Amino acid sequence: MEILSMNVVVSAIVDPWVTTLSFVVALAMRIQDRKK
């Protein structure tokens, strides 16, 4: 049970980071394309 709750906590913390990171990467790629 402890492992399951730990997984929930970890995914709750990691998911927003992954979403933000992918958004930042997409934004950076768009800026790189604009510079060219």
pLDDT of residue 29: 96
What percent of the residues of the chain are helix, what percent strand, and what percent coil, each to the nearest 5? Answer: 95, 0, 5
Q: Which long-range contacts (CB under 8 A, 24 or more apart) does 12-16 make?
A: none
pLDDT of residue 1: 65
pLDDT of residue 4: 84
> Whole-angstrom Cα distance, residue 25 to residue 35?
15
pLDDT of residue 24: 97
Count structural domains, the chain. 1
> Whole-angstrom Cα distance, residue 8 to residue 31?
35
pLDDT of residue 17: 94
Give the global pTM: 0.54
pLDDT of residue 16: 92
Segment 1-36, tens digit of pLDDT: 688 888 899 999 999 999 999 999 999 999 999 887
- Structural domain including 27 reads 1-36
